[in-house]
Amino acid sequence: MPHEEVPPAPRRHPARLFAVLVGAVAVIAYLFEDKVGRQITKELNKQLKSELVIRDFELTVIRTFPNVAKLT
Q: Give per-residue pLDDT as tens, 5-50.
A: 887 777 778 888 888 988 888 888 888 888 888 888 899 899 999 8
| Model confidence, pTM | 0.51
- Beta-bridge partners for 71: 57
Element (H, E) at 70: strand 69-71
Nearest to 34 by CA among 56, 52, 67: 56
Q: Which domain holds residue 55?
A: 34-72
Q: How many whole angstroms separate alpha carbon 64 and alpha carbon 58?
A: 10
Taking the C-alpha atoms of residue 14 and residue 28, their distance in angstroms, rounded to an integer, is 21
Specify the number of domains making up the chain. Answer: 1
Query: Would residue 12 count as lying in a domain?
Result: no
Give the pLDDT score at 64.
Answer: 64
Residue 64 vs residue 36, higher pLDDT = 36
Do the domain assignments include residue 40? yes
